[in-house]
Amino acid sequence: MSLDVRQPEMRPKLTPSIDLPAPITLPGEQALFLSEGVDGLDEGAHFLNTLAPDEWMRLRAHGRRLSFRTGEAIFNQGDGHGGIFIIETGNVRVFYAAPSGREITLAYWTQGHFIGGPEMMGGGTHIWSGEALCDCRILFLPAPALKKLVVELPNFALCLLQGLTAKGRCYSAMAQMLGTRSVIERLAQFLINLGDLHGVRDGRAIIINAKVTHDQIAAMVGSTRQWVTVMMKRFQKDGLLSVSPRHIRIERPDALMELVSKGGA
C-alpha cells in the first residue's frame, strides 16, 4: 500500500487549536488490551454487580484487604497460586516476561476486574506478573475461601463464570491480533484504539490525550521500543501522525485505518 499524499505538503500542526484537559495516564478509567476495537474492553469490570448486599458482606468477610504502592508487585511470574485479587481501587498492569527480559503487556486492568488467574483454586504457579500502576486497594480471596463461596453462594459462582468469560474474550482477542496481524497492523490498530478511547477531535485530526511512551506501545503490540520509534518516524514522514512531547496526533485517521485493513502494506 502506498502512503503517498496526493496534495501539497503541509507542516503538521503540533500545537492543538483547542483547549485540552490534562492527559490521562494509561489505561484511564477502563481496561485496555490489544484488540481489534474498543467495544467490550471493560466488560469484566461488572462481573460481581448482581451480588446481593448480604452476599457482598460474606464475600468481603472471607477476603483480605491489601494495599499496594505504585510499582509494587501484586504477584510475580513463577510464584505459587493462592487465590484471586479483586481490584477495588487503582489500576494494574499484567505482563509476561521472557527469559531474555523482554516483556509483553497482556492487559491493563481497572477497578472491578479480578486478576491472578487462571489457577483460581490454588495449585500451579503464576504464568505472568501483576504490578500496581498507582496506589491500589485489593480484595484478596484465598483459594480455600473461594471454594467455600462457590459452593455456598450459587450467585457468586455464576458471577465468577461471567468474569472468566470476559477474561477468555480478552486473551482470545490478543491471541488473534498477535497471530493474524503484522506488527505494523497491530501498531496502527493500537493507535486507532487509543484515539477512540482518549481522542479529542481537532479538525480532521484526532489528538490522543493520553501519556503513552514508546516502551508502553512496544510492550502492548509485541515489539521493541527501537522498532516503535522507527515506525512512528515513518508514520510522521508519511503524514499520518505528528508527535510532540505531550501528545500523539493522528493527522489522517482514515489513512491509518486503511493501513490496518490492507495488511500494513
Rounded to the nearest 5 percent, the helix, strand and coil shares of the chain are 35, 25, 40
pLDDT of residue 7: 43
Are 51 and 111 in a shared domain? yes
What span, in angstroms and rounded, lies between the C-alpha atoms of 170 and 45? Answer: 12
DSSP-derived letter for residue 218 is: H
Q: How many structural domains does the chain have?
A: 2
Are 159 and 227 in a shared domain? no
pLDDT of residue 1: 38
- CA 237 from chain centre, in angstroms, equals 28
pLDDT of residue 265: 57
Question: Is the preceding peptide bond at 99 cis, omega within 30 degrees of 0?
Answer: no
Length of the chain: 265
pLDDT of residue 20: 87
Adjacent-strand bridge partners of 109:
92
pLDDT of residue 262: 73
Are 152 and 202 in a shared domain? no
User: For residue 22, how many other CB atoms are within 10 A of its CB?
Assistant: 7
Q: β-strand 92-97 against 64-68: which pairing, if any?
A: unpaired
Last residue of a domain, one of 179, 213, 229: 179
Are 85 and 145 in a shared domain? yes
pLDDT of residue 13: 52
Are 150 and 252 in a shared domain? no
Task: From 119, 106, 110, 63, select the one nearest 91 (Cα to Cα).
Answer: 110
Are 153 and 83 in a shared domain? yes
pLDDT of residue 6: 40
In Å, how far are 63, 64, 82, 103, 119 from 58, measured between CA atoms? 9, 12, 19, 38, 22
Which domain range does residue 170 map to?
Answer: 43-179
Are 65 and 165 in a shared domain? yes
| CATH code where residue 74 lies | 2.60.120.10
pLDDT of residue 8: 38
pLDDT block averages, 10 residues each, the chain of length 265: 41 63 93 95 94 96 97 96 96 96 96 90 90 98 95 96 93 94 96 97 95 97 97 96 92 94 67
Are 139 and 212 in a shared domain? no
Half-sphere exposure of 259 (CA within 13 A, CB side): 28
What span, in angstroms and rounded, lies between the C-alpha atoms of 195 and 157? Answer: 36
User: For residue 32, how many other CB atoms are within 10 A of its CB?
Assistant: 25
User: Residue 20 falls within a domain, yes or no?
Assistant: no
| CATH code where residue 217 lies | 1.10.10.10
